[in-house]
Protein backbone atom coordinates (compact mmCIF):
# COMPACT_ATOMS: atom_id res chain seq x y z
CA UNK A 1 0.00 0.00 0.00
CA UNK A 2 1.27 3.46 -0.85
CA UNK A 3 1.00 5.97 1.97
CA UNK A 4 -0.70 9.11 0.67
CA UNK A 5 -1.97 11.00 3.71
CA UNK A 6 -0.61 12.14 7.05
CA UNK A 7 -3.47 10.25 8.71
CA UNK A 8 -2.14 7.02 7.21
CA UNK A 9 1.34 7.89 8.45
CA UNK A 10 0.07 8.50 11.97
CA UNK A 11 -1.86 5.25 11.96
CA UNK A 12 1.40 3.48 11.07
CA UNK A 13 3.88 5.42 13.22
CA UNK A 14 1.81 7.08 15.93
CA UNK A 15 2.78 10.44 17.45
CA UNK A 16 5.94 11.71 19.15
CA UNK A 17 5.91 11.67 22.92
CA UNK A 18 7.78 13.33 25.76
CA UNK A 19 11.15 14.83 24.90
CA UNK A 20 10.79 14.04 21.19
CA UNK A 21 8.06 16.66 20.79
CA UNK A 22 9.27 19.05 23.48
CA UNK A 23 12.91 19.40 22.35
CA UNK A 24 12.27 21.82 19.47
CA UNK A 25 13.44 25.28 20.52
CA UNK A 26 12.98 28.65 18.80
CA UNK A 27 16.52 29.84 19.53
CA UNK A 28 19.99 28.81 20.59
CA UNK A 29 21.00 28.09 24.18
CA UNK A 30 24.39 27.15 25.63
CA UNK A 31 24.49 23.54 24.35
CA UNK A 32 23.38 24.43 20.81
CA UNK A 33 25.91 27.27 20.71
CA UNK A 34 28.66 24.94 21.94
CA UNK A 35 27.67 22.35 19.31
CA UNK A 36 27.89 24.92 16.49
CA UNK A 37 31.19 26.33 17.76
CA UNK A 38 32.67 22.81 17.92
CA UNK A 39 31.37 21.61 14.56
CA UNK A 40 33.70 21.66 11.51
CA UNK A 41 31.03 20.40 9.09
CA UNK A 42 27.38 20.83 8.16
CA UNK A 43 24.95 19.91 5.41
CA UNK A 44 22.76 22.74 4.14
CA UNK A 45 19.43 21.95 2.49
CA UNK A 46 17.58 24.47 0.33
CA UNK A 47 14.86 24.55 -2.31
CA UNK A 48 13.91 26.93 -5.09
CA UNK A 49 10.49 28.34 -5.98
CA UNK A 50 9.72 25.22 -8.04
CA UNK A 51 10.56 22.94 -5.07
CA UNK A 52 13.80 21.71 -6.65
CA UNK A 53 15.94 20.54 -3.75
CA UNK A 54 19.62 20.82 -3.01
CA UNK A 55 21.82 19.55 -0.16
CA UNK A 56 25.31 21.02 0.04
CA UNK A 57 28.23 20.18 2.36
CA UNK A 58 29.96 23.08 4.10
CA UNK A 59 33.11 22.82 6.17
CA UNK A 60 35.88 24.69 7.93
CA UNK A 61 37.80 24.80 11.15
CA UNK A 62 35.61 24.36 14.25
CA UNK A 63 33.76 27.63 14.75
CA UNK A 64 33.69 28.52 11.05
CA UNK A 65 29.97 29.22 11.54
CA UNK A 66 29.60 32.35 13.65
CA UNK A 67 26.91 32.73 16.30
CA UNK A 68 25.88 36.39 16.38
CA UNK A 69 22.83 36.03 18.65
CA UNK A 70 20.56 33.33 19.99
CA UNK A 71 18.49 33.59 16.79
CA UNK A 72 21.16 34.35 14.16
CA UNK A 73 24.14 32.51 12.75
CA UNK A 74 26.40 33.39 9.81
CA UNK A 75 28.04 30.95 7.38
CA UNK A 76 30.85 32.08 5.05
CA UNK A 77 30.16 31.19 1.43
CA UNK A 78 33.57 29.66 0.75
CA UNK A 79 34.89 29.44 -2.80
CA UNK A 80 33.32 26.58 -4.76
CA UNK A 81 32.47 25.60 -8.31
CA UNK A 82 30.29 28.67 -9.05
CA UNK A 83 27.20 26.56 -9.76
CA UNK A 84 25.68 28.42 -6.75
CA UNK A 85 22.68 26.09 -6.38
CA UNK A 86 22.27 26.65 -2.66
CA UNK A 87 22.59 30.41 -2.61
CA UNK A 88 20.41 30.75 -5.73
CA UNK A 89 17.73 28.79 -3.90
CA UNK A 90 18.12 31.03 -0.86
CA UNK A 91 17.68 34.13 -3.02
CA UNK A 92 14.47 32.61 -4.43
CA UNK A 93 12.82 31.22 -1.29
CA UNK A 94 14.91 32.09 1.77
CA UNK A 95 14.29 28.62 3.19
CA UNK A 96 17.12 26.61 4.75
CA UNK A 97 17.72 23.53 6.89
CA UNK A 98 21.08 22.72 8.48
CA UNK A 99 22.54 19.54 9.95
CA UNK A 100 25.65 20.12 12.09
CA UNK A 101 28.08 17.23 12.66
CA UNK A 102 31.02 16.78 15.02
CA UNK A 103 33.50 13.94 14.29
CA UNK A 104 33.18 11.28 16.96
CA UNK A 105 29.81 12.53 18.22
CA UNK A 106 26.79 10.46 17.19
CA UNK A 107 24.24 13.17 17.93
CA UNK A 108 23.65 15.96 15.41
CA UNK A 109 22.16 19.44 15.68
CA UNK A 110 19.40 20.52 13.33
CA UNK A 111 18.60 24.15 12.55
CA UNK A 112 15.75 25.38 10.37
CA UNK A 113 15.03 28.96 9.46
CA UNK A 114 15.09 31.81 7.01
CA UNK A 115 18.28 32.68 5.13
CA UNK A 116 19.59 35.60 3.12
CA UNK A 117 22.80 36.32 1.22
CA UNK A 118 24.75 39.35 2.42
CA UNK A 119 27.90 41.22 1.41
CA UNK A 120 27.62 43.64 4.34
CA UNK A 121 30.97 44.48 5.92
CA UNK A 122 29.69 43.66 9.42
CA UNK A 123 29.26 40.03 8.37
CA UNK A 124 32.32 39.69 6.12
CA UNK A 125 34.52 41.04 8.91
CA UNK A 126 33.59 38.03 11.03
CA UNK A 127 35.86 35.99 8.74
CA UNK A 128 38.99 38.16 8.46
CA UNK A 129 40.98 35.38 10.12
CA UNK A 130 40.16 32.99 7.27
CA UNK A 131 42.80 32.35 4.60
CA UNK A 132 40.38 33.59 1.94
CA UNK A 133 37.72 36.18 2.73
CA UNK A 134 34.33 35.04 1.38
CA UNK A 135 32.60 37.09 -1.31
CA UNK A 136 29.33 36.76 0.61
CA UNK A 137 27.82 35.28 3.75
CA UNK A 138 24.72 33.25 4.43
CA UNK A 139 22.82 34.89 7.28
CA UNK A 140 20.31 32.59 8.96
CA UNK A 141 17.49 33.68 11.22
CA UNK A 142 16.68 30.64 13.34
CA UNK A 143 13.12 29.41 13.65
CA UNK A 144 13.74 25.90 14.97
CA UNK A 145 16.73 24.22 16.61
CA UNK A 146 16.94 20.78 18.15
CA UNK A 147 19.27 17.89 18.87
CA UNK A 148 18.84 14.77 16.76
CA UNK A 149 19.36 11.37 18.37
CA UNK A 150 22.33 9.08 17.71
CA UNK A 151 20.50 6.13 16.13
CA UNK A 152 21.51 6.75 12.49
CA UNK A 153 25.19 7.08 13.40
CA UNK A 154 25.06 4.07 15.69
CA UNK A 155 23.52 1.99 12.88
CA UNK A 156 26.04 3.20 10.29
CA UNK A 157 29.06 3.14 12.66
CA UNK A 158 30.19 6.20 10.73
CA UNK A 159 32.96 7.23 13.11
CA UNK A 160 34.28 3.72 13.80
CA UNK A 161 37.75 3.05 12.43
CA UNK A 162 36.57 -0.37 11.26
CA UNK A 163 34.01 1.32 9.00
CA UNK A 164 36.63 3.15 6.96
CA UNK A 165 37.38 1.66 3.56
CA UNK A 166 40.71 1.57 1.79
CA UNK A 167 40.47 4.78 -0.26
CA UNK A 168 42.50 3.17 -3.07
CA UNK A 169 39.76 0.56 -3.48
CA UNK A 170 37.27 3.26 -4.47
CA UNK A 171 37.35 5.12 -7.82
CA UNK A 172 38.85 8.59 -7.84
CA UNK A 173 36.68 11.62 -8.51
CA UNK A 174 38.52 12.01 -11.80
CA UNK A 175 37.72 8.45 -12.87
CA UNK A 176 34.06 8.74 -11.90
CA UNK A 177 33.65 12.00 -13.81
CA UNK A 178 35.46 10.56 -16.84
CA UNK A 179 33.02 7.65 -16.91
CA UNK A 180 29.92 9.75 -16.25
CA UNK A 181 30.83 12.32 -18.90
CA UNK A 182 32.14 9.67 -21.32
CA UNK A 183 35.29 11.70 -21.72
CA UNK A 184 38.36 10.64 -23.70
CA UNK A 185 40.66 12.67 -21.45
CA UNK A 186 42.91 10.99 -18.91
CA UNK A 187 41.30 11.17 -15.46
CA UNK A 188 42.79 13.54 -12.90
CA UNK A 189 44.67 11.69 -10.19
CA UNK A 190 43.67 12.01 -6.56
CA UNK A 191 47.00 13.65 -5.77
CA UNK A 192 46.58 16.27 -8.51
CA UNK A 193 43.01 16.96 -7.41
CA UNK A 194 44.07 17.49 -3.79
CA UNK A 195 46.84 19.89 -4.81
CA UNK A 196 44.40 21.84 -7.01
CA UNK A 197 41.81 22.03 -4.23
CA UNK A 198 44.37 23.22 -1.68
CA UNK A 199 44.72 26.48 -3.60
CA UNK A 200 41.07 27.35 -2.92
CA UNK A 201 40.66 26.20 0.70
Question: What is the pLDDT at residue 97?
Answer: 98
How would CATH label the architecture of 18-156? Roll (2.30)
Digit-coded pLDDT (tens) for 134-153 = 999 999 999 999 999 999 99
For residue 120, the number of C-alpha atoms closer than 13 Å in the C-beta half-sphere is 8
Q: 92 pLDDT exceeds 90? A: yes
pLDDT band for position 82 (cuts 50, 70, 90): confident
Question: What is the pLDDT at residue 76?
Answer: 96
Phi, psi of 48 (to 5 degrees): -95, -175
**Which stretch of 9-18, 34-43, 98-107, 147-156 has the lowest confidence by average pLDDT?**
9-18
pLDDT band for position 71 (cuts 50, 70, 90): very high
For the residues 72-93, what does the mean pLDDT come to?
Answer: 92
* pTM for the full predicted model: 0.92
The residues spanned by each domain of the chain are 18-156, 165-198
Mean pLDDT over the full length of the chain: 93
Question: What is the pLDDT at residue 201?
Answer: 76
DSSP letters of 64-110?
-SEEEETTEEEEE-----S--HHHHHHHHH-EEEEEEE-TT---EEE
Question: What is the pLDDT at residue 16?
Answer: 81
pLDDT band for position 162 (cuts 50, 70, 90): very high
Question: What is the pLDDT at residue 20?
Answer: 73
For the residues 107-113, what does the mean pLDDT come to?
Answer: 98
pLDDT band for position 73 (cuts 50, 70, 90): very high
- The answer to whether the CB of 39 falls within 8 A of the CB of 85 is no
Amino acid sequence: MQIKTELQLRELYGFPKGRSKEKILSGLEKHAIHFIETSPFLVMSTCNSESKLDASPRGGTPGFVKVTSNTEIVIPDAKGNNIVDSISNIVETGMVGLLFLIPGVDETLRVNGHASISTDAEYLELFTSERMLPKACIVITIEEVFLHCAKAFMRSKLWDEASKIDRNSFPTMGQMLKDQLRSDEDPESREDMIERYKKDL
